[in-house]
């Protein structure tokens, strides 16, 4: 008998990379490679004294605040949705992709994952202040990330969100590094490494080791050295590459950056910027040959916002979203987003607690028939019961399929005669001798936030 393996309905997992480190020497440097599928962006000067609401993506209990500090941020999705930046007190925040992030629900006001960055830069001056207020808001994300923060006193910390809990990892020693796994997992991998660091690898854990190993050998004395260290782990693939490299000199309130299309290093003196409430909103295209501020207009912001939403494939009320970014002083609800998306919580129950679980959502019977997944991913497990929240799932009718790769050989485990084992479907249905069950037996309606259990057998 010819078996239809579940493996063919699991989509390849997209891995996006970023690398960052903080060096607490005579001068304090925070450096990051921004690795992504696109390189457009603006550097924006954000003013103090601005009344703001978080954008209404989830529910109607959005955070509100008035910016205490001005900041300079690096933005690709438009104003108020920064990827990172530095405020006038020398606090730096950056984000890096982390597919397994599962955010803590604090049962209070909500904010999206990128607006959270702007909120911290607007309100706090130190790492300690951020940590003391870490549970003041609940993050409701579109994409899953973790955060890296540092200040002029030499403090830094990685903020991870693991199984619905917020994990704070403060810097130990003179340096701290992070890529695209949790800090604790990255440290465990580095400490258990028995072979020399592989300089050619671009996995997130090997990039972590490359940078940490280099920092153990030298003290970063200037921004040029920081660029050289990040160059060791830069990406240059057809689908994504290192589009920006940013070095924050916290001691001297300076920022250095370069882009893939303009690799010359540009310098920004943060002390020269005007953060006053009545100043003109200004910005600079990150890919220009020199840093030169000009008025940041609604047209510039719309272009960033519309282009990014199209690339990400996310449905929003684009005009409302772009308007809110330029004038965030009103409470606005995006009905287009709320009408189109929900969150799915999956509780995976397996016989053994080791290896990886790979999963995919297949929307509708046609996609199920042709093994075409809508959203796929992988989680590393260390126990028999594991929870995963899939954020930003388009509402509709789905089937969910998964399997456990217990021995980490990237293959489906099999029994006698090649029959697949350690797999599962929604509604805990199975087919005959390893064949997928009928779609009608596995389908689930996802039109509101939903939690399900899948037993892997």
Sign of CA dihedral 409, 414, 419, 420: negative
pLDDT at residue number 427: 97
pLDDT at residue number 5: 43
Pairing label, strands 450-456, 341-350: parallel
Helices 298-312 and 318-326, axial angle in degrees (round to 10): 140
pLDDT digits (tens, 9 = 90+) for 39-53: 999 999 999 999 999
Residues 438 and 311 in one domain: no
pLDDT at residue number 239: 86
Residues 273 and 210 in one domain: yes
User: What is the extent of the structural domain holding 158?
Assistant: 18-326
pLDDT at residue number 3: 38
3-state secondary structure 431-448: CCCCCCCCHHHHCEEECC
Residues 442 and 295 in one domain: no
Residue 275 is part of a domain; what is its CATH number?
3.60.60.10
Rounded-to-10 torsion of CA 144, 261, 44, 112: -10
255: β partners: 248, 268
Residues 416 and 279 in one domain: no
pLDDT at residue number 430: 84
Residues 160 and 231 in one domain: yes
For each successive 10 residues of the chain (457 residues), what is the average pLDDT?
43 68 97 96 98 97 98 98 98 96 97 98 98 98 97 98 97 97 96 91 94 96 98 91 97 98 97 97 98 98 97 96 98 98 97 92 94 88 94 97 86 75 92 85 97 95
Are 306 and 360 in contact by the 8 Å Cβ rule? The answer is no
Residues 287 and 397 in one domain: no
Rounded Cα distance, 377 and 360, in Å: 7
- Confirm whether 320 is domain-assigned: yes
Residue 196 CB burial class (10 angstroms; 0-12, 13-18, ≥19):
exposed
Residues 374 and 318 in one domain: no
Are 428 and 422 in contact by the 8 Å Cβ rule? The answer is no
- Confirm whether 5 is domain-assigned: no
Residues 156 and 300 in one domain: yes
- Please tell me the chain's helix, strand, coil percentages from 3-state DSSP, rounded to the nearest 5: 20, 35, 45
Pairing label, strands 396-405, 355-363: antiparallel
Residue 393 is part of a domain; what is its CATH number?
2.60.40.1120
Are 399 and 442 in contact by the 8 Å Cβ rule? The answer is yes
Q: What token pair was written down for 262?
A: 């303009």
pLDDT at residue number 15: 55
- Confirm whether 373 is domain-assigned: yes
Rounded Cα distance, 206 and 246, in Å: 21
pLDDT at residue number 7: 45
């Amino acid at each position: 008998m010819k078996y239809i393996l579940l493996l063919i309905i699991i989509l390849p997992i997209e891995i996006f990379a970023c690398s960052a480190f903080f060096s607490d020497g005579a001068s304090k440097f925070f450096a990051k490679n921004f690795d992504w599928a696109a390189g457009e962006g603006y550097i924006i000067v954000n003013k103090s004294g601005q009344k703001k609401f978080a954008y209404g993506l989830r529910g109607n209990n959005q955070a509100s605040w008035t910016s205490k500090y001005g900041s300079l941020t690096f933005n690709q999705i438009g104003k108020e949705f920064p990827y990172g930046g530095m405020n006038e007190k020398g606090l730096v925040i950056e984000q890096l992709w982390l597919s397994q992030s599962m955010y803590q629900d604090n049962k209070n006001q909500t904010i999206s994952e990128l607006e959270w960055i702007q909120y911290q830069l607007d309100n706090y001056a130190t790492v300690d202040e951020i940590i003391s207020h870490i549970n003041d808001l609940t993050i409701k994300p579109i994409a899953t990330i973790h955060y890296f923060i540092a200040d002029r006193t030499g403090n830094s910390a990685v903020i991870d969100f693991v199984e619905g809990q917020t994990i704070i990892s403060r810097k130990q020693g003179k340096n701290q590094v992070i890529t695209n796994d949790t800090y604790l997992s990255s440290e465990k991998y580095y400490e258990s490494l028995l072979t020399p660091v592989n300089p050619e690898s671009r996995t997130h854990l090997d990039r972590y080791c490359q940078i940490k190993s280099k920092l153990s050998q030298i003290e970063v004395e200037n921004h040029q050295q920081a660029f050289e260290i990040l160059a060791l782990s830069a990406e240059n693939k057809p689908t994504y590459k290192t589009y920006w490299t940013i070095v924050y000199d916290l001691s001297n309130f300076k920022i250095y950056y370069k882009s893939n299309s303009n690799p010359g290093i540009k310098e920004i003196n943060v002390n020269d910027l005007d953060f006053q409430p009545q100043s003109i909103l200004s910005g600079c295209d990150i890919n220009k040959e020199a840093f030169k501020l000009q008025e940041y207009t609604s047209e510039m912001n719309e272009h960033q916002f519309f282009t990014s939403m199209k690339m990400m494939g996310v449905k929003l009320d684009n005009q409302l979203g772009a308007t809110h970014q330029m004038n965030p002083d009103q409470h606005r609800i995006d009905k287009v987003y709320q009408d189109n998306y929900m969150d799915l919580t999956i509780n995976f129950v397996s016989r053994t607690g080791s290896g990886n679980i790979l999963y995919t959502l297949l929307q509708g019977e046609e996609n199920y028939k042709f093994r075409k997944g809508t959203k796929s991913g992988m989680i590393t497990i260390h126990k028999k019961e594991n929870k995963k929240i899939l954020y930003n799932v388009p509402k509709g009718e789905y089937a969910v399929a998964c399997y456990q790769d217990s021995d980490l050989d990237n293959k489906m485990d099999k029994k006698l005669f090649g029959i697949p084992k350690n797999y599962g479907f929604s509604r805990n249905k199975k087919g005959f001798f390893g064949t997928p069950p009928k779609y009608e037996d596995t389908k689930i309606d996802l039109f509101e936030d939903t939690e399900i259990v899948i037993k892997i057998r």
